[in-house]
């Protein structure tokens, strides 16, 4: 070992942010495609579990990517989203949010689920006694009862992706940004992207690296990448989720509210609305706005229907504080993967071909995603060691 090698015990890592930085490596033990929260977390756990295996994390955009589902995801951990048998995974994820991801800001904020009736509930006026601004949103005659999750947490998934990736880099991960990956078995093609002076995104150069294991964590694009890469059909789906805003004052004490499947998440001095997902969107679906009393809106028809159905119990939704937009471009939205093609399924990890892994977060990733990312990292290391 040379003096230079022994001088530093910290693993060396490299970050390539733009095409001006030459990319020369031709192989890694592991390549992770996609630095959303699932890919970034998986990369971090891989570094923790197997520091001797070299790793490249590839992301089509920046970190965090402004386009992915991660940046818009609600970031609400709640026991109400835990299906039977997943309790340990949810608790593990909660623990990681609180102390496993360095510098992640997590707030303890109860989640109050409003109900029209039900056993084992508390009066909604009591559940919201300390949050008059939340109580003012609803008609207590329509929602007289509530369930409260006192252990709920809120955080920003975009910050989670960023912090997990940075922690992975400190542990020796390599990061290649602005690069579209085409994963295959045993290798990954890397198209390094650049922007022309007419603002077009073009491929600057294409490289190929060998990889003993490839983890596809590309969100809603993941199943398609796997299908193209190995010619396999998967059963997964995707849905376009819109996150309209309700501009009413909130505070650090305002709880997360839920009613009829709609989540109202206090954020940036207002409420972000997270509508329920009813089904996968068909192949080729293009997000398009609907109409409300003849006026064009940026909200999809099914989101409008859900909101209209809730207006009796949540009269604030029918006020001009709800941002409807004029076209779908006005409403923040993202494609979310639906593991198994169902709206209510949990994050999944699988190995569609030897050495090729698919990691999907989806709508329940806030509560269960980190446990799935860790389980996959463990499985990948087991196949390589």
Binding site for ligand ADP (CB under 6 A): 33-39, 58-61, 65, 67-70, 180-181, 217-221, 225, 337, 361, 365
| 300-314 per-residue burial string, b: 16 or more CB within 10 A, e: under 16 | bebbbebbeebeebb
Question: Least CB distance from residue 326 to ligand ADP, whole Å?
Answer: 26
Q: Are 216 and 358 in contact (CB under 8 A)?
A: yes
Nearer to ligand ADP by Cβ, of 134 and 365: the residue is 365
Q: Which helix (H) or strand (E) holds 309?
A: helix 301-310
Nearer to ligand ADP by Cβ, of 59 and 149: the residue is 59
Q: Are 23 and 31 in contact (CB under 8 A)?
A: no
Nearest to 225 by CA among 52, 18, 58: 58
Nearer to ligand ADP by Cβ, of 317 and 360: the residue is 360
Question: Least CB distance from residue 322 to ligand ADP, whole Å?
Answer: 26
Beta-carbon neighbour count of residue 297 at 10 Å?
23
| Paired residues of 207 in beta bridges | 190
How is 249-303 classified by DSSP, letter by letter? ---TTPPEEEETTEEEEE-SSSEEEEPPP-SPPPTT------EETTEE-SS-HHH
Question: Least CB distance from residue 41 to ligand ADP, whole Å?
Answer: 8
Nearer to ligand ADP by Cβ, of 259 and 336: the residue is 336
Nearer to ligand ADP by Cβ, of 113 and 281: the residue is 281
Question: Least CB distance from residue 370 to ligand ADP, whole Å?
Answer: 11
Question: Least CB distance from residue 37 to ligand ADP, whole Å?
Answer: 5
């Amino acid at each position: 070992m040379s003096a230079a090698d022994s001088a530093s015990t910290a693993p060396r890592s490299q970050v390539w942010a733009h095409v001006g930085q030459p990319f020369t490596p031709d192989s890694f033990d592991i390549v992770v495609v996609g630095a959303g929260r699932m890919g970034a977390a998986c990369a971090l756990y891989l570094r923790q579990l197997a520091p001797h295996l070299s790793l490249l994390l590839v992301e089509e955009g920046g970190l965090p990517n402004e386009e992915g589902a991660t940046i818009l995801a609600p970031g609400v951990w709640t026991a109400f989203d835990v299906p039977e048998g997943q309790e340990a995974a949810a608790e593990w994820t909660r623990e990681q949010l609180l102390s496993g991801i360095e510098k992640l800001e997590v707030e303890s904020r109860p989640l109050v689920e409003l109900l029209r009736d039900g056993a084992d509930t508390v009066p909604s006026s009591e559940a919201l006694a300390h949050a008059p601004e939340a109580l003012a949103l609803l008609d207590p005659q329509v929602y007289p009862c509530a369930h409260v999750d006192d252990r709920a947490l809120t955080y920003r998934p975009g910050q989670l992706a960023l912090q997990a990736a940075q922690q992975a880099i400190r542990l020796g991960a390599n990061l290649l940004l602005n690069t579209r990956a085409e994963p295959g078995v045993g290798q990954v093609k890397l198209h390094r992207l650049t922007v022309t002076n007419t603002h077009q995104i073009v491929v600057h150069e294409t490289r190929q690296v060998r990889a003993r294991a490839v983890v596809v964590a590309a969100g809603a694009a993941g199943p398609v990448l796997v299908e193209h890469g190995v010619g396999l059909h998967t059963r997964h789906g995707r849905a376009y989720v819109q996150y309209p805003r309700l501009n009413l004052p909130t505070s650090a004490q305002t709880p997360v509210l839920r009613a009829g499947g709609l989540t109202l998440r206090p954020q940036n001095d207002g409420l972000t609305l997270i509508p329920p997902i009813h089904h996968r969107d068909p192949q080729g679906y293009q997000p398009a706005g609907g109409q409300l009393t003849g006026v064009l809106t940026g909200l999809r028809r099914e989101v409008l229907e859900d909101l209209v159905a809730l207006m009796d119990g949540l009269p604030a939704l029918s006020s001009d504080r709800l941002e409807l937009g004029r076209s779908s471009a006005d409403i923040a939205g993202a494609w979310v993967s639906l593991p198994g093609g169902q709206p209510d399924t949990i994050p999944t990890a699988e190995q569609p071909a030897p050495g090729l892994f698919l990691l999907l977060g989806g709508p329940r990733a806030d509560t269960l995603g980190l446990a799935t990312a860790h389980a996959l990292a463990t499985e990948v290391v087991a196949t390589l060691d």
